[in-house]
């Protein structure tokens, strides 16, 4: 009979540890686990902590003979390897320091197979894997690490973190014996990690725990790091946190030209050394390489060729896409570092992230890669000109605004329109907005007018959700043709009419008007004109729903801040705060009634005639 080690590429002890960890993650209720980690935490204080913290993952280090064999080992333990692996530089360096080894001799990867908790909540098993070929070279290291489990830890995600909540949580943990043990801020993910050593009386085998809080909390992190005690394993590995282990709302869905990626991307910790700062800046400076690597992947149609097939070698892929084999292998290795593909013994395989670059994928982001790696990438080379003059870098480069430029190139215009649909996840909650549900419940059919509605992504969702509603889409001629095809294919074309025109041609007599991601394209003067056209067309009873990203009212990381720079450089427009939109609306005789958040840092503004 085949032994477990031969069948899985893992020693029986590691198979047992993986299975036990996966079962542990699946079974734990957050409140019960917290009471075990911190004995004495009970009653109202336990409920308060559990209300703010959700158990997210447990981590362990295993020792496969090689990394391809680990995939079979995970499968044998019921752990899907669908997120791909990345190098784990931080754990590698910790192992090297702990055992007096040369770090270059240690090949450590990190994987996060997803599992689900008792109520179906998304969790992960964080697997660090050190390739340990048969023989005496690394066997003592593996035996020591299995005995001591230095890399094992539990992780809890903080729900709706703010400074007061984080201070309260840290105080509760400290009161029950948890000791500060490092941490870090990861700007790539915009998340802050606080590490603790658990008390000696803990009732779990885990001696380390982490709190993960979305956002930049480096002021609190500095206090936390000042409290840490020297420990062999207190080094931060914040850069190895990944959204896969958390809510999908934290998974990036749109990236601008300066998007940053990488297995240990942007490891910046409070109080870091000059070398850390230099490494952080170097990784920031190479962000443009990532944009072009993703654009090249899309242009070569690597995702289409890889598909759902078994791994393929670089040589075979080069033949199929028409590329130089060695050059393509260089690109593929970089894409593997980004998590777009994964490298295995038999070649390269597409990951779920890479799947989004396929043209036929649901929610395909291929058009975004083409735009960000194409004309917008070129215009960002003139950002300094934009900052000096206030003139869009796009106009400086091409001699005309981007709408006119795209109109002269049908292929480019179609790509731009598709790229707008690629960020449509922000529309997911919109059909359930009270304005639309009220219109759908009216005794007579109501009409929704989508002004500059692109290819109809938003209007199609609204009509599909509410069969009683009728729609009108106003757009440029070539876009109307594409919208007609899309809405017909979606099965709602028979309830939709189409109007060719500009903002001056907004149809009257609508009941609900939609204006999505339009105002940020323009300066204040042009926005006032657009809103006045809308106000003239809207009946007194009509509602207007405006979809835009809102700049934060206080300094905080936000996609709106990134897109504000994008609009400056490419359209001459800008993102705005809610109060700025309220003032613009007021000049057109309109009133901002309320606004509510949407995914991807967007908001929907409810507007009525004053």
- pLDDT tens digits for 391-426? 999 999 989 887 788 878 877 877 777 777 666 678
Tokens of 312: 């393929």
Look at 98-102, 229-233, 555-559 and tell me which has the smallest mean pLDDT: 229-233
d(Cα 315, Cα 538) in Å, to the nearest integer?
A: 60
Mean pLDDT of the region 368-390? 92
Q: pLDDT per residue over 97-126, tens digit each? A: 889 888 888 989 889 999 998 888 899 999
Higher model confidence: residue 273 or residue 364? 364
Q: What pLDDT is attached to residue 80?
A: 77
For the chain, list the domains and their CATH numbers.
4-251 (no CATH), 287-421 (1.10.10.10), 424-609 (3.40.50.150)
Over residues 562-569, mean pLDDT: 92
Burial class (CB in 10 A: 0-12, 13-18, 19+), 489: exposed
* DSSP per-residue codes, 437-469: HHHHTSSS--EEEEET-TTSHHHHHHHHH-TT-
Q: Please say if the pLDDT value at position 553 is more than 70.
A: yes
Q: What is the pLDDT of residue 266?
A: 34
57 beta partners: 124, 155
Is 245's pLDDT higher than 60? no
Out of 136-140, 243-247, 552-556, 572-576, the most confident range is 572-576
**Strand blocks (E) in 101-255:** 108-111, 114-116, 122-130, 153-158, 179-186, 191-197, 208-214
Residues involved in catalysis? 520
Higher pLDDT, 119 or 288: 288
Handedness of CA 275, 278, 284, 288 (dihedral sign): negative
pTM: 0.56
Per residue in 371-380, pLDDT (tens digit) is 899 999 999 9
Res 260: pLDDT = 33
Residue 64: which of 109, 1, 23 has the closest Cα?
109
> Would you say how long the chain is, in residues?
610
pLDDT at 498 > cutoff 80: yes
Residue 327: predicted pLDDT: 96
**Strand 543-549 vs strand 512-516: parallel, antiparallel, or unpaired?**
parallel
């Amino acid at each position: 009979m085949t032994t477990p080690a031969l069948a899985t590429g893992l020693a029986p002890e590691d198979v047992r540890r993986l299975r036990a960890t996966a079962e542990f993650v699946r079974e734990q209720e957050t409140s019960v686990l917290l009471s075990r980690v911190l004995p004495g935490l009970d009653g109202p204080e336990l409920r308060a902590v559990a209300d703010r913290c959700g158990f997210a993952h447990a981590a362990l280090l295993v020792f496969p003979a090689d990394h391809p064999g680990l995939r079979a080992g995970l499968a044998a333990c019921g752990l899907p390897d669908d997120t791909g692996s990345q190098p784990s530089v931080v754990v590698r360096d910790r192992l090297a320091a702990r055992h007096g080894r040369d770090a270059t001799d240690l090949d450590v990867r990190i994987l996060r197979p997803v599992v689900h908790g008792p109520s179906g909540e998304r969790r992960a098993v964080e697997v660090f894997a050190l390739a340990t070929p048969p023989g005496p070279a690394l066997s003592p290291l593996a035996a020591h690490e299995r005995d001591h489990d230095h890399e094992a830890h539990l992780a809890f995600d903080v729900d709706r973190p703010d400074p007061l909540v984080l201070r309260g949580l840290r105080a509760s943990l400290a009161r029950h014996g948890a000791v500060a043990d490092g941490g870090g801020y990861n700007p790539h993910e915009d998340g802050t990690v606080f590490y603790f050593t658990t008390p000696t009386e803990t009732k779990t085998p885990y001696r380390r725990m982490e709190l993960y809080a979305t956002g930049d909390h480096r002021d609190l992190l500095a206090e936390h790091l000042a409290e840490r005690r020297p420990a062999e394993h207190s080094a931060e590995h914040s850069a190895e946190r990944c959204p896969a282990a958390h809510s999908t709302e934290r998974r990036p869905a749109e990236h601008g030209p300066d998007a940053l990626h990488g297995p240990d991307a942007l490891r910046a910790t409070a109080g870091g050394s000059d070398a850390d700062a230099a490494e952080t800046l170097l990784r920031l400076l190479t962000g443009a390489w990532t944009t072009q690597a993703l654009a090249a992947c899309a242009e070569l149609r690597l995702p289409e060729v890889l598909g759902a097939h078994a791994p393929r070698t670089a040589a075979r892929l080069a033949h199929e896409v028409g590329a130089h084999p060695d050059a393509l292998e260089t690109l593929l290795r970089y894409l593997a570092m980004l998590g777009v593909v994964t490298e295995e013994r038999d070649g390269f395989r597409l990951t779920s992230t890479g799947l989004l670059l396929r043209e036929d994928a649901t929610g395909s982001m291929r058009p975004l890669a083409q735009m960000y790696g194409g004309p917008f990438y070129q215009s960002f080379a003139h950002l300094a000109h934009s900052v000096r003059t206030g003139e869009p870098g796009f106009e400086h480069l091409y001699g005309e605004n981007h709408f006119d430029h795209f109109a002269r190139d049908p292929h480019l215009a179609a790509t731009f329109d598709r790229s707008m649909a690629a960020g449509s996840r922000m529309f997911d909650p919109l059909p359930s907005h009270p304005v639309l549900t009220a219109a759908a419940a009216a005794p007579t059919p109501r009409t929704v007018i989508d002004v500059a509605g692109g290819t109809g992504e938003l209007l199609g969702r609204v009509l599909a959700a509410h069969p009683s509603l009728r729609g009108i889409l106003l757009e440029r001629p070539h876009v109307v043709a594409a919208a007609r095809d899309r809405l017909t294919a979606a099965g709602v074309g028979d309830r939709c009419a189409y109007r060719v025109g500009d903002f001056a041609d907004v149809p009257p007599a609508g009941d609900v008007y939609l204006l999505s991601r339009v105002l940020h394209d323009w300066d204040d003067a042009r926005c006032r004109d657009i809103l006045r056209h809308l106000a003239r067309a809207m009946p007194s009873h009509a509602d207007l729903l405006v979809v835009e990203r809102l700049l934060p009212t206080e300094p905080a990381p936000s996609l709106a801040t990134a897109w504000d720079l994008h609009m400056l450089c490419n359209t001459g427009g800008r993102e705005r705060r809610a109060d700025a939109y309220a003032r613009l609306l007021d000049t057109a005789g309109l009133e901002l009634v309320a606004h509510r958040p949407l995914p991807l840092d967007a908001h929907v503004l409810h507007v009525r005639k004053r």
